[in-house]
């Protein structure tokens, strides 16, 4: 297979996995709710006052607690696992192909610098 075909397939698969395995999870629940108004646009003018009276700048507020993170990661891992188990199932694949259409206008993915920095045992394709 040509490298450009591999890149196209990997990009489409990454976007579909993001929709199926990450986006439509508890992450949506965490994303729901009110967003504070920021006149600066970057949140630097927003503070949260907690029950102890601490005034915490928005940039320092944890927006997800440990239990929520643990539950979110479990759900994402379970969905990724199920995705891989079912990808050869024609009915599942048909549904995934429909979801792919919704990601067509998303930005093209690019290599992640952290994962890309892991040394490869095989030469890079090119």
pLDDT at 113: 94
What distance in Å separates the CA atoms of residue 87 and residue 12, rounded to the nearest whole number? 14
Residue 96: CB atoms within 10 A of its CB come to 19
Please, which residues have CB within 8 angstroms of residue 30's CB and are 6 or more apart in sequence? Answer: 63, 64, 68, 72
The predicted structure's pLDDT at residue 124: 67
Is residue 114 scored above 90 in pLDDT? yes
Q: How far is CA 42 from the centre of its chain?
A: 21
What pTM does this model have? 0.78
Q: Please, what is the Cα angle at 97 between 95 and 101, to 5 degrees?
A: 115
Instruction: Specify whether the CB–CB gap between 75 and 26 falls below 8 A.
Output: yes
For residue 31, what pLDDT band results from cuts at 50, 70 and 90? confident
The DSSP annotation for 3-40 comes to HHHHHHHHHHHHHHHIIIIIITSHHHHHH-SPPPP-SS
Confidence of residue 42 (pLDDT cuts 50, 70, 90): confident
- Residue 29 has a pLDDT of 87
Alpha carbon distance 106, 19 (integer Å): 11
pLDDT, one tens digit per residue, over 47-106 is 999 999 999 999 899 889 999 999 999 999 999 999 999 999 999 999 999 988 889 899
Closest CA to 11 of 85, 78, 104, 79: 104
């Amino acid at each position: 297979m040509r490298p450009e075909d591999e890149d196209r397939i990997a990009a489409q698969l990454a976007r579909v996995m993001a929709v199926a395995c990450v986006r439509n999870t508890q992450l949506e629940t965490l994303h729901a709710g009110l967003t504070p108004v920021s006149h600066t646009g970057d949140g630097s003018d927003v503070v949260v006052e907690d029950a102890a009276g601490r005034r915490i700048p928005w940039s320092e507020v944890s927006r997800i607690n440990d239990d929520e993170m643990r539950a979110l990661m479990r759900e994402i891992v379970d969905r990724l696992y199920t995705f891989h188990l079912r990808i050869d199932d024609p009915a599942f694949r048909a549904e995934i192909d429909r979801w792919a259409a919704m990601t067509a206008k998303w930005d093209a993915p690019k290599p992640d610098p952290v994962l890309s920095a892991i040394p490869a045992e095989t030469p890079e394709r090119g």
